[in-house]
């Protein structure tokens, strides 16, 4: 009997761009995203990312796009960016059919470990759409704290989606890595 292998982690390459766009879109947009709990389908239409955005993360100095594979298939990803004493965590996606099974926790733990080990980061920062109470609660249970520091949602820039409501903004969440 075959036993499933655990996740493997590696840095994304240009060859991964299309698979990563498909993964991120499946986790957040459209009806397919409803198979998981991270969907934004009720608050945003349109795209979450595009090939140019993913390629830019891969190519940006002091940035990496971590790919998570299981049995040779990309099942999760996250962006890490070195910003002085802290690291930024973004573009986090887990395949909707694998959500709520511990994979997201494993990805976050590895991202935090890499930020400390590779860059000496003492904090991890991320931004989350402030109306995503369930998602923010998930991050809080993993040690992130709300800061009440917000930035406007980029209304009118369809690269980030088409808002279905007028009250969207990003809230900064922070976790100490020391």
Cross-strand partners of 45 = 162
> In this predicted structure, what is the pLDDT of residue 174?
98
pLDDT (tens digit per residue) in 8-20? 999 999 999 999 9
pLDDT (tens digit per residue) in 93-113? 999 989 888 999 999 999 999
Cross-strand partners of 152 = 169
CA distances from 145 to 131, 133, 148 (A): 15, 13, 9
- Binned at pLDDT 50, 70 and 90, residue 3 comes out as very low
Residue 4 has pLDDT above 80, yes or no: no
Residue 102's φ and ψ, nearest 5 degrees, are: 95, -10
> In this predicted structure, what is the pLDDT of residue 5?
66
> In this predicted structure, what is the pLDDT of residue 170?
96
3-state class (DSSP) for residue 101: coil
What letter would DSSP give residue 82? E
Answer whether 166's CB lies under 8 Å from 78's CB. no
CB atoms within 10 A of CB 140: 13
pLDDT (tens digit per residue) in 33-86? 787 777 888 899 888 899 999 999 999 999 999 999 999 999 999 999 999 999
**What proportion of the chain, given as a percentage, has pLDDT over 70?**
97
């Amino acid at each position: 009997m075959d036993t499933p292998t655990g996740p493997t982690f590696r840095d994304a390459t240009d060859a991964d761009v299309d698979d990563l766009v498909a993964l991120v879109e499946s986790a957040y947009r459209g009806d397919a995203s409803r198979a998981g709990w991270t969907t934004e389908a009720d608050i945003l239409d349109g795209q979450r990312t595009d090939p140019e955005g993913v390629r830019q993360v891969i190519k940006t100095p002091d940035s990496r796009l971590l790919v998570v594979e299981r049995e040779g298939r990309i099942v999760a990803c996250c962006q890490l960016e070195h910003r002085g004493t802290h690291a930024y965590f973004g573009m986090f996606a887990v395949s909707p059919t694998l959500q709520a099974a511990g994979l997201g926790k494993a990805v976050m733990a590895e991202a935090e470990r890499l930020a400390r080990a590779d860059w000496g980061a003492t904090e991890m920062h991320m931004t989350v759409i402030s109306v995503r109470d369930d998602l923010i609660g998930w991050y809080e249970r993993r040690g992130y704290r709300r800061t009440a520091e917000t930035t406007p949602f980029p209304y009118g820039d369809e690269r980030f989606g088409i808002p279905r409501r007028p009250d969207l903004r990003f809230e900064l969440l922070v976790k100490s890595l020391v």
